[in-house]
Structures are given as C-alpha cells and as structure tokens.
Amino acid sequence: MVNRTTPVRSRAWEIAAAVRDPEMPMLTLADLGVLRDVTEDGDRVTVTITPTYSGCPALTEMRADLQRSLTAAGYRDVEVRTVLSPAWSTDWITEDGRRALAEHGVAPPGPAPRRGGPVPLTLLPPSDVVRCPRCGSPATEETSRFGPTACTALRRCTACREPFQHMKEL
Amino acid sequence: MTVFDALSDARDEHGQWAFGTGIEDVATEITAPVPDGVDAADLAEYCLMLGDDALVCGHRISEWVSNAPELEEEVALANTALDLIGQARLLLSRAAHLGAGADEDELAFQRNEDRFRNVALAELTDDGDFGHAIARLLLFSSWRLALLQRLLGSRDPVLAAVAEKGVKEVAYHRDYAARWTLRLGDGTEQSHRRMQAALDTVWPYVEELYRVSDVEERLIAAGVAANPAETRADVDAVLDELLPQATLTRPDRPPRGTVRGRAGRQGVHTEQLGHMLAVMQSLARQHPGAKW
C-alpha cells in the first residue's frame, strides 16, 4: 500500500499536507489522498504526489504550491516528484476530506467500483444513492455526468431543489 | 503584482506554459529502464503509437470546445480530450526518454504527419457532426479500453501504469459515447438516420484497429505490448449489446485499403491528419520555445 498515512509526521509532511487543492480548495492535498510521501534530509525535501486524472490540469498548480510553501518554510532544495502507480482512487479521500466536501455543498463519492476482468457497459446513470449535501435527502437525480471539474457530476435534489456537485467514484 | 507575475513567480525556473510547461517530470516512472530483452527503439515506437492515438483523437475531440450542441456536452468532451491528452503526454515523454525525440513537446509539435503513428480512426474530422464524434468515440474508446486492459500486465512499468489510470478514464469515455449512441439511435427519425450514417462513415476505419504491426508483434512476444487482434471480440461484444437497443444496424462496409500494407502505424495517413496538424502545430512552430 502507499504512504498516504506516513506514520512519521515530519515538519515537511505537515507543510506539504496542508497545501490546498487548487480546484477544490476545501480539500488539502492530504485530504484528497494525492500526497504519497515526504522525505526530509536537512534543508532538502522530496515530495511525492500522484495525479488524480491523467490530464489533471491542477497538477501543475499543486507542484508550484508545494514548491512555494516548502521554500517559504525554509527548505532550500525542494523536489516534487509525480508517480502514477498505484493509480489514485476516490477511496483515498480521507474522512476529513469527505466532511469538508459535504460542508461545502459537494456530495462526497461512494466506494469506487472494483475492477477486474471486462468493464461492463453502463448505459444508465449509476443507481447508487447520493444524498443531498444540503438537506440529506436521498431523492436526488443526475443532471450532467460531467461537472465543472473532471471529477464531479452535477445533480439536483428533488426534495429541497438544491442543485449540487457530486464527486464521482473513480 | 499582476496575476501573471504571481503565476510566473510561482513557477520561477519552471516558467513555461502551454507547449513547454517546463516540467520534464510528468511522472517519475517514465525514466524506468527498458525491460530485459526488449529493443528500446521498438518500445519507443510503440509508445508513439499509443501516444499518437490519444493525442490526435484528443485534439479532434477538443475541437468541440465552443462548438458543442449543449454546454454539458462541451464539458464532457473537453474532459475526455483532457484525459486522452494526459495519457499522450506520458506516452510521448516515455518515447522521448527512449530516444524518439527531445521531449514530449517536440514530438507533439515538430513532427510531420508521416512520423505520426496513430490509426486513421483517430484523425478523422467530425466536421461539426455530433453523431460522427459519438460514433468515432464509441469505437475508439471500446478498442482502447480493450488494449489498456491487456496492458495492465505489461512488462514495461510505464505502459502498465498508464493503463492502470487509463482504464478508469476510457471506461467512462466509452459509456458517454454509448449513452449518446442509444439516445440518438433510438431517438427521432432524423437522429436515428444521422447516427446510422455516422457509424457507416467511420466503419471502414475499424479494421485497421485490429492489425498487428511488426513492432507490435515483437513486443507482444516480449510480454510488453497488447495484441490488437484480440481486441476485436471486446469491441464486438460492446456493439452486440448496444446496437440492437439503439435500433442501429452493424454497418456492412468494406475496410479502407492500405498502401502496400502500410497504414497509420507505418505513417501513412488520410489527408485529414495534415489539416489537423496545421492547426494544432502552427503556434508552436511559429514561436519555438516561446514562454508566457
């Protein structure tokens, strides 16, 4: 398994973990589950992150923000590495992260689909219950599979009429 | 300080955007050693094939941005294009690392069409026909998903890693295309007619997807490449499930011919690729190494 819960929380880890996702600023990189590893050696630090999606445009910003935060904290030599495998899954979003999403009106993802063998064709919107982040009603419907960022879908609550984003299971 | 200053400040020595992001490390894995018994030039060529499929198809899909029938479809297509271009960046970076070029940008923006290795299906213009975009995406993503699933066990760690992420992405590209195929096929008289016509138009380009090039043959034997001939059954299974529900007919059209056995994988393309590259590459070629 990956080092997303590195047991030794070094100072550099704490700084890197507090950097926020540029597209979903209610989440820190640690909440999002993209921070793999932080190693520290004197004033040299190496941060390893993983992209959410292959073409995630936020990755460049994350790297720049990590560089900036760690440099500002006094580290002279900051290297940010990107590793692909194992591939990120929404299952890696922490409980804190899920709470933060819901508090900001974004319904958190359910369990990611288990993959193995052929991927079945899905012709209907997923039937999983997605609760309205405003009123908690399970009576919500998908209005668009693709929302303002690659990782969200648009839904609306038929009980309280709230339109909201849902972070898709990946 | 202006926004632009702040952004370039944040990048300091990594000051480049667009072509030339300045980030050489798209992923640490791309520098992995070539697996034992594998020819580096073969592996580079194979990365170009899969990378060019994604780059060229991704660019064609991106042409819908600001032209799609609804905002939701524009967002869906933009995200699909972004995923494919993301996959392309990794594969072209791997190819460059193995000696095919200086870097991903040089490969994307400085090669002429005869050096592209994508299949013809990827390069066809939609010419503003949404049905065509859907028909191409349905076939392309069904095929690519089957390829990527077979690459999960590749002996090349980069191909395996790209496949691991790519399978998740291409699966929802395919589902998006399949849902629209169903809606348009089993929709109005006009939408049915046009969806069928779009399938008929792209059908001659499907056979090429299953051909095995010499490079692939060697890499399949080495446990590195996926066998495209095996993907036919997967694509057929999707069509057999989907087309009857969509009241569409499997086209009966002969495959497009090759030029003495040469096609996209050997750099022989339709005239449509040159037009696409003229647009895609013009800015980077006019301003080589530009920064902003």
Q: Are strands A163-167 and A152-157 parallel, antiparallel or unpaired?
A: antiparallel
Return the closest-CA partner of residue B135 out of B171, B189, B174, B170: B174
Q: What is the pLDDT of residue B27?
A: 84
Q: What is the pLDDT of residue B282?
A: 95
Q: What is the pLDDT of residue B13?
A: 46
Residue type (1 letter), A21:
D
> Phi-psi category of B61—alpha, beta or left, where left has phi over 0 and alpha has psi -120 to 50?
alpha
For residue B123, being part of any structural domain is answered with yes
How large is the average pLDDT for residues A105-116?
88
For residue B256, being part of any structural domain is answered with no
Q: Which two tokens stand for residue B236?
A: 């057929």
Q: Which two tokens stand for residue A126?
A: 């997923």
pLDDT digits (tens, 9 = 90+) for A63-74: 999 999 999 999
For residue B4, being part of any structural domain is answered with no
For residue B213, being part of any structural domain is answered with yes
Chain B residue closest in CA terms to A72: B10
How many angstroms separate the CA of residue A82 from the nearest CA in chain B?
5
Q: What is the pLDDT of residue B292?
A: 54
Kindly state the percentage of chain A with pLDDT values over 70: 95
Return the closest-CA partner of residue B76 out of A33, A144, A99: A144
Residues in chain B: 292
How many angstroms separate the CA of residue B261 from the nearest CA in chain A?
31
Q: Is B18 on the interface with A (CB under 8 A)?
A: no
Does the pLDDT value for residue B201 go beyond 50?
Answer: yes
Q: Is A163 on the interface with B (CB under 8 A)?
A: no
Distance from C-alpha of A155 to C-alpha of A169, rounded to nearest angstrom: 14
| H or E stretch covering A152 | strand A152-157
Does the pLDDT value for residue B16 go beyond 70?
Answer: no
For residue B201, being part of any structural domain is answered with yes
Using the beta-carbon criterion (under 8 Å), do B83 and A84 form an inter-chain contact?
Answer: no
Does the pLDDT value for residue B5 go beyond 70?
Answer: no
How many angstroms separate the CA of residue B238 from the nearest CA in chain A?
7
Does the pLDDT value for residue B181 go beyond 80?
Answer: yes
Using the beta-carbon criterion (under 8 Å), do A121 and B238 form an inter-chain contact?
Answer: yes
Put simply, the chain A residues between 8 and 47 with a CB less than 8 A from any chain B CB are: none
Distance from C-alpha of A58 to C-alpha of A66, rounded to nearest angstrom: 12
CB neighbourhood size of A106 (10 A): 21
Put simply, the chain B residues between 121 and 150 with a CB less than 8 A from any chain A CB are: 145, 149
Q: Is B268 on the interface with A (CB under 8 A)?
A: no
The interface pTM score, or ipTM, of the predicted complex is 0.90
| Total domain count, chain B | 1
CATH code for the domain of B149: 1.20.1260.10
Which residue from A143, A145, A150 is facing B82, i.e. has the nearest CB? A150
Mean model confidence pLDDT for chain A: 90
How many angstroms separate the CA of residue B276 from the nearest CA in chain A?
21
Does the pLDDT value for residue B8 go beyond 80?
Answer: no
Which residue reads 């939609």 in tokens? Answer: B126
> What is the domain extent for residue B89?
38-251+261-286
Contacts of A92 in chain B (CB under 8 A): none
pLDDT digits (tens, 9 = 90+) for A121-164: 988 877 778 999 999 999 999 999 898 888 899 999 999 999 99
Does the pLDDT value for residue B12 go beyond 60?
Answer: no
Contacts of A81 in chain B (CB under 8 A): 25, 28
- According to DSSP, residue A146 is labeled S
Q: What is the pLDDT of residue A87?
A: 92
Which residue from B23, B145, B165 is facing A84, i.e. has the nearest CB? B165
Q: What is the pLDDT of residue B17?
A: 47
- According to DSSP, residue B204 is labeled G
The least confident of A166-170, B71-75, B287-291 is B287-291
Confidence of residue A56 (pLDDT cuts 50, 70, 90): confident
Q: Is B82 on the interface with A (CB under 8 A)?
A: yes
Which residue from A85, A115, A150 is facing B161, i.e. has the nearest CB? A85
Contacts of A76 in chain B (CB under 8 A): none
Q: What is the pLDDT of residue B20?
A: 54
Using the beta-carbon criterion (under 8 Å), do A51 and B21 form an inter-chain contact?
Answer: no
For residue B291, being part of any structural domain is answered with no
CB neighbourhood size of A146 (10 A): 22
Q: What is the pLDDT of residue B23?
A: 56
Does the pLDDT value for residue B18 go beyond 50?
Answer: no
For residue B1, being part of any structural domain is answered with no
Q: What is the pLDDT of residue A8?
A: 60
Distance from C-alpha of B162 to C-alpha of A116, rounded to nearest angstrom: 16
How large is the average pLDDT for residues B279-283?
95
For residue B73, being part of any structural domain is answered with yes
Q: What is the pLDDT of residue B19?
A: 53
Using the beta-carbon criterion (under 8 Å), do A118 and B76 form an inter-chain contact?
Answer: no
pLDDT digits (tens, 9 = 90+) for B99-151: 999 999 999 999 999 999 999 999 999 999 999 999 999 999 999 999 999 99
Domains of chain A: 3-82 (3.30.300.130), 105-112+124-167 (no CATH)
Q: Which two tokens stand for residue A158?
A: 């038929």
Confidence of residue B24 (pLDDT cuts 50, 70, 90): low
CB-side neighbour CA atoms (13 Å) of A27: 27
Which residue from A48, A150, A170 is facing B79, i.e. has the nearest CB? A150
pTM for this prediction: 0.92
How many angstroms separate the CA of residue B124 from the nearest CA in chain A?
22
